[in-house]
Structure 1
Amino acid sequence: MSQTVDPRIVVNPRQAQELPTMVTYVGVRDRGRRLMALFACMYYAALRPAEAVGLRLQDCHLPAKGWGRLTIDVSRPEVNTKWTDSGSTHEERGLKHRGRADVRPVPIPPELVKILRQHIEEYGTGPDGRLFRSERGGVIGSTAYTEVWQEARALALTPAQIASPLARRPYDLRHAAVSLWLNVGVSVPDVAERAGHGVDVLLRIYAKCLDGHKEIANQRISDALTV
């Protein structure tokens, strides 16, 4: 993805917390509830949807207190079945923009640690350690989680917001996470490492989502010049 992110799609932290909560109210037989932690990974860890779908227990360090860590090395993008050896709609691949054997460590805040621990306690994991599965134990398809997201969006947002581009896709949670990190002053190389981007690509994609950085830079320069 190389296009600049439209700042209108980026939710604020309050909205980013409310939307996954509304997910738990969607559908019957825990349809939405079992996906809440999936969306939380897209926001709190800036995972791409295909990375979140492929998350396994062995990829997670979830301490009882403090920050945890996800070690991302598998992505499960959806593909046309005729292009896969197995005939599956999902193919296991390495990370985007990286070699097949590369991994990406992502520190995660206590909020996400708690959500993932609760999810594992309630739903367990698959035979291969996968955290997120369909009701029948299969890989969760993009159609399924997108439908849940749209219903949750209708519950959480105002009519004007629903008609706007705000958080129109689950992927926009990742954009919100990266935008937040940049705007609170996390260094660009650190944000790029966490998000799995090159620095130049990161700055190009999120150029329009940087709020007030010129003013911050001007103030820091002024402070440095003050003697």
Structure 2
Amino acid sequence: MAELTETSRVHALVDALGRKLDGKPAAAQTYRRRRAVAYNALEYAVELEVLPSNPLGKVRRKRGQQPVQQVDRRTVVNPRQARELLNAVTYVGGWDRASGRRLRAFYGCLYYAALRPGEALGLRQSDCTLPEEGWGRIDLEETRPVAGKAWTDSGETHDRRGLKQRSKGEVRHVPIPPPLVRMLREHLEEFGTAEDGRLFSSERGNVVAASSYSRVWKRARELALVPAQVSSVLAARPYDLRHAGVSQWLNSGVPAPEVAARAGHSVDVLLKIYAKCIDGQEQEMNDRIMRGLGEEDGELGG
């Protein structure tokens, strides 16, 4: 504690908070979470009069240290690629274990409803409105992120929490398109639910482990993509399906406030993260510029 009264020590702490174990920069969200934990711990030290004041409040992160927050557009699949990947999932695991088919609707929720993996894992049948025709709806109120048995009150690997950046008990309403409605209805017909009503579970009824759905996804990419794409960052993680879903909404012209509400973001964070992915109207914008220059009417000449 005494060393933290030296500014150089505090700068070293801030730098460590922003790096992974391999020394590479951590994601901005990871840094913010770590800094919040460290700040609260030091506040407790101030309360115990071990420190005169919180040293983190006096030190700012260097501008050059800030990791890029935007989604890499190279990871975002187009609708055709997304459909091919979701179909390829059903071929993973063979017909005896059905590991891929059991997870197809899970991945579908990440793409068509832009759910986070933890939100999809906590999804229950009672949260879903699935009509025989037309659009349905998902009413989210719980997420099951991986925390580790040592860090949950229940002793389970997956914690039970409310939605990210929302008050406890607050519900997020997400309209879902017919393809996802059909996918969920087929999933319920074939696999049913876990004892607590969750849609997605392992063969033993447990919460699906991140290692399991990541392993199935890796195999599905090998089946659906060409070798050059498999070795690229295109849809490298299941979470990239959420990025693709949000990007598709924005590129389809859905207003940012509506996209933010469905995805569980604030508008400013949404536009900051997905700024480089809003490129669906590039040719249209180019045409507008050319019309403004008078090129379309031949006014500029050769």
TM-score between both structures, scaled by the size of structure 2? 0.71
Q: Does 1:152 align with 2:236?
A: no
Q: Does 1:211 align with 2:211?
A: no
Aligned to 1:11: 77
Equivalences for 1:5-44 in 2 at 5 Å? 5-28=71-94, 29-44=97-112
Distance 1:217 1:185, change over 3 A: farther
* Aligned match for 1:95, one of 146, 163, 171: 163
> Per-residue deviation at 1:53?
0.7
* 3-state SS in 1 of match to 2:183: helix
> Per-residue deviation at 1:84?
1.0
Report sequence identity in percent: 61
Q: Does 1:133 align with 2:201?
A: yes
Contact 2:134–2:177, Cα closer than 8 Å, also in 1: yes
Distance in 1 between residues matched to 2:286 and 2:274, nearest whole Å: 17
Structure 2 letter corresponding to 1:92: R
* Aligned match for 1:163, one of 208, 218, 231: 231
* 3-state SS in 2 of match to 1:32: helix
Aligned to 1:55: 123
> Per-residue deviation at 1:189?
0.3
Distance in 2 between residues matched to 1:91 and 1:136, nearest whole Å: 18
Contact 2:195–2:205, Cα closer than 8 Å, also in 1: no
> Per-residue deviation at 1:80?
2.2
Structure 2 letter corresponding to 1:122: E
Aligned to 2:174: 106
Distance in 1 between residues matched to 2:226 and 2:76, nearest whole Å: 15
Distance in 2 between residues matched to 1:205 and 1:144, nearest whole Å: 28
Which is greater in Rg? 2
* 3-state SS in 1 of match to 2:99: coil
* 3-state SS in 2 of match to 1:99: coil
Aligned to 1:187: 255
Aligned residues: 222
- CA distances 1:24-61 after superposition (whole Å, capped 9, x unpaired): 10013101110000000100000000001111000000
Distance 1:217 1:85, change over 3 A: farther
Aligned to 1:74: 142
Long gaps (5+) in structure 1: none
Q: Which moved more, 1:70-79 or 1:19-28?
A: 19-28
Structure 1 stretches of at least 4 aligned residues deviating more than 4 Å after TM superposition: 212-219
Structure 1 letter corresponding to 2:102: R
Contact 2:142–2:160, Cα closer than 8 Å, also in 1: yes
Structure 2 letter corresponding to 1:200: D
* Aligned match for 1:199, one of 246, 249, 267: 267
Distance in 1 between residues matched to 2:126 and 2:162, nearest whole Å: 16
Structure 2 letter corresponding to 1:33: R
Distance in 1 between residues matched to 2:110 and 2:221, nearest whole Å: 15
> Per-residue deviation at 1:218?
9.1
* 3-state SS in 1 of match to 2:257: helix
Contact 2:90–2:100, Cα closer than 8 Å, also in 1: yes
TM-score between both structures, scaled by the size of structure 1? 0.93
Q: Which moved more, 1:90-99 or 1:196-205?
A: 90-99
